[in-house]
Amino acid sequence: MVLRCVVVGGGPGGMVLAYLLGQAGVAVCLLESHRDFDRDFRGDSLHPYTLELLDELGLGDALLTLGHHPARQFRFHTPAASVTVADYARLPTRRNYVALMPQAQFLDFLAGRARQLPGCEIRTGAKVTGLLHDGAGTVRGVQYTDAADGGRHELTADLVVGADGRFSKIRQLAGIPARSLGASTDLLWFRLPRVPTDPPDADAELYFGRDHYVGVLGGVTDWQVGYTLPKGDYAAARDRGVEPIRAFIARHVPWLADRVHMLTDFRQTTLLSVEISRVQTWHRPGLLLIGDAAHVISPVGGNGILMAIQDAVAAANVLVPALRPIDPPANGANNVEAALEHVQRMRAPAIEQVQRAQVRLEQRTARARAAGRSIAPPGRLLKIVTALPVVRTRNARANAYGPRPPKLSTAVLRCAENGKNTYG
């Protein structure tokens, strides 16, 4: 069996791509630097697009037997009003909600299914240290260290895909710069327990004060809480301690006031430095970047996982025919290079649209802080606009699927059904 593709990074985008390639008969190996997925991630949301994709692959029902919270609404709470911004329950789909599930649980599930495919290998504890090149400078594989034996190894393949996140080692090794588009906010994440008396309609909520806001995401046993800071304010916030955070939550999220005392130490929080950035070109000969390695999405709206998974679908649509052609063309390498360009052409407009909206939000927040105004959106106007069900449905659809969502091609599905045991 000749290895066709190495995927570096076992996040949602990398894991979905490895699964799709493996199921369609492309010999693939995924390298993940950590030994397992048992850690906190910054995103736990699986949008309707992702759930429908998993249904198409025959995995949806099995995944959703695992613990998750179905979020059917997204709401804003300002000093002036509480409004439902997006109503997923109105979407005409079986999966009319966002499944809030620990990302580690999702990745463990998908890795287990990928390992059952005969040509799909998942190696954990494998830390990439270098890229292999041929005489023409084309990437032809990776060097990595294996935590199991402490040894240094090489893995050759026709294509390397960097799906290793915002601090991508592959991007660094390839010398591909990422340009920051500007962010004015950082987030402190922590968890508080769920109790039976919590509001039954609380799903995904934003609570605005004058200078900060808090995001609250539902879980099976707890709430994931994100408290905003002005960018660069982390050291000062740490010196102030947790009391200002507890006071803000007690005032603006009163139903959590009875347990906010459980936040006792700054070490219970995790800093997420919000970033919005992207590379100009996602590919080099023999190399492709997807997900946060190519473009970092702000956590506002929970779009990061969705965009990475859609990158994986778009990549699979063009890489399966390129890496597993029925009648391989004489210039197979050029066929792959054309595929890499095609992935960026398909995905870049959607990414740029999402990032433009996020940059506008960051700029508005920065201007409000600089002028001493409240960062809260105009609640009364928002209430009037979102009173229309069509607006709540439109907002839900936009967040559930993103702009220009790619469909898994019939060619990929046909390869998966007819030729998954044939590897080239």
Domain that holds residue 312: 5-42+103-180+276-369+404-419
Q: Are residues 137 and 244 in the same domain?
A: no
Quick one: pLDDT band at residue 415, thresholds 50, 70, 90?
confident
- Given a cut of 60, is residue 333 above it in pLDDT? no
Quick one: pLDDT band at residue 422, thresholds 50, 70, 90?
very low
pLDDT of residue 420: 46
Q: Is residue 16 part of a domain?
A: yes
Q: How do residues 361-384 score in pLDDT, each as one tens digit?
A: 889 888 888 888 888 888 788 888
Quick one: pLDDT band at residue 91, thresholds 50, 70, 90?
very high
Q: Are residues 242 and 304 in the same domain?
A: no
Q: Are residues 300 and 355 in the same domain?
A: yes
Q: How do residues 97-107 score in pLDDT, each as one tens digit?
A: 999 999 999 99
86: Cα separation from own chain's centroid? 20
Q: Is residue 35 part of a domain?
A: yes
- Given a cut of 60, is residue 424 above it in pLDDT? no
Q: Is residue 85 part of a domain?
A: no
Q: Are residues 123 and 145 in the same domain?
A: yes
In angstroms, the CA 323 to CA 333 distance is: 9
List strand residue ranges (DSSP E) for 51-184, in order.
69-71, 73-77, 82-87, 98-100, 120-124, 126-133, 139-146, 152-156, 159-162, 178-180
Could you tell me the CATH number of the domain that includes residue 289?
3.50.50.60
Q: Are residues 35 and 125 in the same domain?
A: yes
pLDDT of residue 12: 95
pLDDT of residue 366: 87
- Given a cut of 60, is residue 421 above it in pLDDT? no
pLDDT of residue 43: 65
In angstroms, the CA 80 to CA 378 distance is: 8
Q: Is residue 55 part of a domain?
A: no
In angstroms, the CA 12 to CA 49 distance is: 13
Quick one: pLDDT band at residue 2, thresholds 50, 70, 90?
confident
pLDDT of residue 413: 82
Q: Are residues 269 and 343 in the same domain?
A: no
Q: How do residues 197-219 score in pLDDT, each as one tens digit?
A: 999 989 999 999 988 999 999 98
Q: What pTM, to 2 d.p., does this model score?
A: 0.93
